[in-house]
Structures are given as C-alpha cells and as structure tokens.
Structure 1
Amino acid sequence: MPSKIAILFSVLIGVCQAAFGAGLTEMAPAAHRGQLYRVTHDGKTSYLFGTIHVGRDGVDPLDPVVTRALLDSKALVIELDIREAAPFQLALARHGRYADGDTVQNHLSPATLRLTVQALAQAGLSLQSVQQYKPWLIANLLIGAEMEVHGYQRSQAVEYALLAAAQKQDKTVRQLESADYQLSLFDTLDERQQEQYLLENLADLADGASLKKSTALIDAWSAADAPGIHAAWQSATSGDSISAGFMNRVLLGKRNPEMASNIERIMQQDQVAFVGVGLLHLVGDDGLPQLLKRRGYQVEQLY
C-alpha cells in the first residue's frame, strides 16, 4: 500500500548570467517541456522551471536548455525532497488517517460509501485496506492508481530527474515546503467538504474526466504548449466545486505567495539557484512569475 500512496503526490514544487542567457537561446531545441523563467535581482539569479509529478519509463523529462540551466546553478530547490520517505509517512499518519478505532465508514453517507467501494474494487483495492484513510486521501489515491494503470508513474516524476542530476553534479538540495505542511492543507477540509471532494473525484473517475484532465496537462507540459497549459490551469481552478475552490484558494492561492517568499530567501543565500515547482504554480496573474515581478524582481520567460 505505501507504494501506491506515493503515486498521488502529484497533489497531493551570477556573473556569467548574460553569456549563459545567450547560450540558452542558441542551443534551444525545436521542442521544450514545461515552462522556464529566469529571475534576477541584485546580481542573484534563479531559474524557475515548471514540473509535473508523474512520468513514463524511458522518457527523459529534461531538455538541453533545462539541463544547462541546472548545470549553471549552485543549488536545486524543489517543493519537497521526495527521496525522504519517513517525513511523508509521519505526515500521512498525522493528517491522512483516522485515530485508532475510527474508520471512514463512520464519516461517509451510505450512498457515498457504496460508490467508494465500487471505485476501490475497480482499482483492485478493498475498503478494508484503506478504511483508516480520510476521504480526501482515498480520492487522491484512486486518482494516482488510475494514472499508474495508464502508464504514468510517480517514480518517473520530473523531480526525480532533477534530483539525480543534482546528485551527479554534487549540488545542494533545498526544499520550499515540508511533507507535514503539504498534507496538512488537505486536512483543513471539514467533513462535508471531504465527502464532497471524494464524490467529485469519483464522478470524474467514472466518466473519464479525471484521466482527460491529467493527460491534457501532461501533454501541454510535454510540448511547452502555453495555451494548453493555461487551459489546464483554468480547468483546475474554475467553477464552484470543492475541488476547484480548494485548488484555487489553498493549493495555489495560499502556497504561491509563501513559495515566492521562500524563493526570495533562497536567492539571498545562493548566487544562482534552480527552482523546480509544479507547473500550475507558474500560471496566471497570481502565479510565481507575476508575484515575483510585483516584488521588484526581473522575470524573463526563456520559453
């Protein structure tokens, strides 16, 4: 079970500056992935790269421009160091599980419980195996399981490629957040919201909308398709659903300003840093590039 749970987080991150910028333009390949920005202020530089948290076997997610930017940087900064399992398990126990003696059956209506059992069975899981998990965690687990069935794996996430390159280059790795913080955000949903979040995701899984939304974002990232990326962001944040409101208000609206502040702090420590965060954090008027611009930073989109 822990290996399946790990899939979902997705949800559930200098002086040679002018010469390097020219080199990036000259060596740019025909196709890029994601989005890449250069952020500068007072002689300090950050490269801001939008990632996705899943991948496919045999697909290298880092194009030459991103590889060059990382090579030029002194430190790699990601949302969370996903190599560390212990903090994640502790956070999961604290925020994603009910106390001993309590189960999800005590917190869902009979109708929702029936739909949940059906979805779990389709994913090859039993209710008993997840009965201590809160509804939001079960929803995210089912989304991750579906992605895995269709060939997308958390173990192939862009962050793993970045971490492998950083290790090879002996770079410092910094985190913007912690596992406890990330999971605590989902735990802010009250009981009614958690059940509705589960119901919305069960409906999307049943009619294929969940897979369609996920693959649309992945395809847009794979081609650096700016209109497609924006459309995926709009799909995730628009409407009156609990899921969209939570994405817009908390997963992006709350975290983006905090991430911007952490990036500012890191830029004071490192002459050049490479920051990899989930792609949707870069989109919109309150995405990281726009937030940093409003704080007086020079922000240039390299592609």
Structure 2
Amino acid sequence: MRRWLRIYCSFLLSLGFGGPACAAACPPAPTQATAAQAAAWSRLAQDHGLLYRISRDGRDSYVYGSLHIGRPEWAYPGPKLRAALERVDVLALELDLSDAATLQVLSQPPAHAPELKLTPALRKRLDAQASAACLPAEALARQHPLMALSTYTVLAARWDGLDPSFGQETLLTLWAREHALPIIGLEDAAGQLRALIPADPKLALLALQKGLAQLEQGRVRPIMKRLAQAWAQGDLATMQDYAHWCDCVEDAQDRADFVRLNDGRNPTLAAGIEARHAQGQSVLAAVGALHLSGQQSLLKQLSQRGFVVQQLHPRPN
C-alpha cells in the first residue's frame, strides 16, 4: 500500500498545472490524498464503468470500459476490476503511453496529414485555450492543432473536479507497474493519429473551428460532466445515446467523424485482443467506454469473433 501510494503521489506531482501565481484563475490542482485517505479509498473502492468477461478457447479475458478523466476517489480499482486484474497476464490499453516510442510519435506532427496553416485569428483563439488551461501557448506548439485542442478539451473538465491524472488508463498503468503486469497497446500511435486527424486539411480545419467554438461557448464541460456521471454509474444507455445528447454531432460530417473516431477503430481493438488471447494469454483490455456503444461496438466485434460476452459490472437486470 505505501509503495503504491508513493508511486501514485509522485506521478500526480509530475502532472501539476499552474502554481500560486495563477491559482485564482486556474482550475484546482489535483487533490493529493493523505495516507489515511488513500487507505480508506483503497479499502472502500467501488467498481465504476463497465466490465465484461469474454471467453473463448477455454480461457477468460476481460474488457473494461474506461474514462480518460476522473476523480480522486476513483483512484483504486473496485473489487470486480481488481479481481480481473489479478487473474490476467497482460494489461492492454488503446495505446501504451508508458512506451517512449509511442510518446515520440504522438509528440510530432502526424506523418499522414500536411501542416495545418492557421490564420492569425485562429491561432489567437487556440492560444487563448492554452491560457485558459494555464499552459504557455508554446507548450503544445509541436503538436497538430487538433491534438492540442483535444488536450485543452480534456483539461477543461478540471473545473468540475474531473482530472486527466485520475483517468483510468493512467491509474491502471500505475497499478500494472506496481504489480509487474506487462502492458501492451492495441493500436499503434500512427494509426490512432490517422483516426483522430483528417488527412484533408479542409476537414481538419473545420473540425478545429467547431471544437474551438464548443469550448468558447461553454458547451464542453456539461458534456464531460454528464459522460463522467454515466460512466461512474455504469449507465451504458446514456453512453449509447451520446451522439444525440452531446450537442456535438450537428451534421453529416460530424456523424462521419464520430463513426471514424469510435466505430471505425473497433475492428483494430478487437483484433489486438483476439491475437493476445489466441496466444494463450488472458487479457484485460481497457478502452474508452464509448467503444462499447454503437452499431459496431467492440463487444459486438468480439462476439462475431467467437467470444462469449458476459457483463460483470454493473450486473444486468
């Protein structure tokens, strides 16, 4: 327990944003638990999100619908998730962000998309979001503007106590390190960038303008809060209906983008899980919970590949 706490607290300190000079204008810093609080959270941890057992070839693996932001009290796995973690041979994430080569690819301009030329006005709007996140404008300058926008979108949730340093992938990575559980990525970084960033600069520019408008109009935080609440309650129905209530899918292009970002990646995720399982390894695959929704959900993809899917949390009615 104490060793895990030291690793976890050190990680939080490395992700601190802002400082005393900007505390009033910046979102609250991540809460750093005392030893007593951490012990209580670990002892009383509840399961959140969506957890499924997938079985084939006489072996079990697991799929966990995760959230990329979180609260301090979600820092420890609940009983069912912990039991699954203790039974598997490998933790599979969308990307292994502990891998230096993966981080190197993500930090560079994407090879598949040309440089996006921003007007001075558009650059000013993007820099304003860096300021709102208490980051210097140059902090993400080497990233594609859409990747920077994605970071600013996630960081906006900190105002509501939802911090990326408590995202489930981060916490599972730390848990795996502490327990010597190997970590793999189900996608490669270049492939994920191709899904996230349109190769057509006109479409990329349109996506950037729409995303900035959502942030500027205050439409992002309510979406993040509702999605986090649905995830915490294991409310798959609300997540299934995300495209209808998020106020972010407004036209045919938005719908095509959402399908590309969500459904379009599921075959690759399913293939990665299947490959490891076929090698005789039991896998816990943690992917964004929205991948478990939609007409081509990851669970449907796995079922089509011969896996028997059983929901463990929340228990079906």
Aligned match of 1:155: 165
CA distance in 1, matches of 2:167, 2:304: 31
Equivalent pairs counted in the alignment come to: 273
The one-letter amino acid paired with 1:157 is G
Aligned match of 2:242: 232
Post-superposition shift, 1:300? 1.3
Whether 2:304 is the aligned partner of 1:289: answer: no
CA distance in 1, matches of 2:89, 2:185: 14
Aligned match of 2:48: 33
The one-letter amino acid paired with 1:145 is L
CA distance in 2, matches of 1:289, 1:65: 19
Identical-residue share of aligned pairs (%) = 27
Higher relative contact order (CA 8 A, sep 6+): 1
SS at match of 1:95: coil
Whether 2:123 is the aligned partner of 1:108: answer: no
SS at match of 1:215: helix
Post-superposition shift, 1:61? 4.9
| Partner deviation per Cα, 1:250-291 (whole Å, 9 max, x = no partner) | x22321011111111111123422111111111122111111
Query: Residues 163-202 of structure 1 correspond to what in structure 2 (within 5 A)?
Result: 163-202=173-212
Whether 2:89 is the aligned partner of 1:74: answer: yes
Post-superposition shift, 1:124? 4.0
Gaps of 5+ in 1: 6-28
CA distance in 2, matches of 1:279, 1:298: 19
SS at match of 1:81: coil
TM-score (norm 2): 0.74
Post-superposition shift, 1:202? 1.3
Whether 2:146 is the aligned partner of 1:136: answer: yes
CA distance in 2, matches of 1:164, 1:89: 20
CA distance in 2, matches of 1:69, 1:282: 18
Post-superposition shift, 1:78? 1.4
CA distance in 2, matches of 1:239, 1:290: 26
- Residues 50 and 64 in structure 2, CA contact (< 8 A), matched pair in contact too: yes
CA distance in 2, matches of 1:162, 1:130: 25
TM-score (norm 1): 0.77
Q: Root-mean-square deviation (CA), in Å?
A: 3.2
Aligned match of 1:217: 227
- Residues 107 and 143 in structure 2, CA contact (< 8 A), matched pair in contact too: no
| Partner deviation per Cα, 1:103-125 (whole Å, 9 max, x = no partner) | x6xx2345534543444444445
Post-superposition shift, 1:67? 0.7
CA distance in 2, matches of 1:240, 1:4: 38
Aligned match of 1:247: 258
